[in-house]
Amino acid sequence: MNLSTVEERVRREVGVRLFTVLAWLPGRRVLHRAHTSHPDQYPVGGEKSVEIAADWLDRCINRQQPFFGPDAESVRQVFADHALIAELGCGSVINVPVIGPDGITLGALALLDAEHAYGPAQVDRAVELAELAVPALAELVQRLDTNQEDS
């Protein structure tokens, strides 16, 4: 399943204004943007490193637990780009890890919508839908790792 199809399912089953799929590249400790619903603001191929909150990385990437921020204050505390997120009408966030069959974190899905748009039921469904991104994200991570080795 491609990442556009994952976005369609998330949009239909959870709801989303801004959707991003991030590939985790542990060797460089960066999140590589693999897919986005807003390419003008968040271009594919962009990478996040220093602007990622350490506790977010530990929770979502290392401990493989979802992050849920129900309101704009939660978004402000974690994301350096919170002003752009607010401009897009988003004030609630769900981040869920995408975990490969070997138990390794491949990346994360980022779902953002209006403040208080999400609750525990949406977090649970997002966790389930993250599995749909495994094949495409695994292929991308493998390709990016191969490119790093070749350089």
Which one, of 35, 29, 5, lies nearest residue 109 by Cα? 35
CATH code where residue 103 lies: 3.30.450.40
Q: Is 49 helix (H, G, I), strand (E, B) or coil?
A: coil
Q: pLDDT digit string (tens) for 42-62?
A: 999 988 775 567 788 889 999
Q: Across the chain, where does the E strand assignment appear?
A: 18-25, 30-36, 47-48, 67-69, 92-99, 105-113
Instruction: Please give the Cα distance from 60 to 14 (Å, whole number).
Output: 19
Domain total of the chain: 1
Which one, of 135, 112, 149, lies nearest residue 37 by Cα? 112
Q: pLDDT digit string (tens) for 7-19?
A: 999 999 999 999 9
- DSSP secondary structure code for residue 103 in this structure: S
Within a domain: 151 = no
pTM: 0.91
Domain extent, residue 40, equals: 3-144
State the distance between the two ends of the chain, measured CA to CA, in whole angstroms: 29
Residue-by-residue pLDDT tens, the chain, 151 positions: 799 999 999 999 999 999 999 999 888 888 999 999 999 999 999 887 755 677 888 899 999 999 999 999 999 888 888 999 999 999 999 999 999 999 999 999 999 999 999 999 999 999 999 999 999 999 998 888 655 544 3
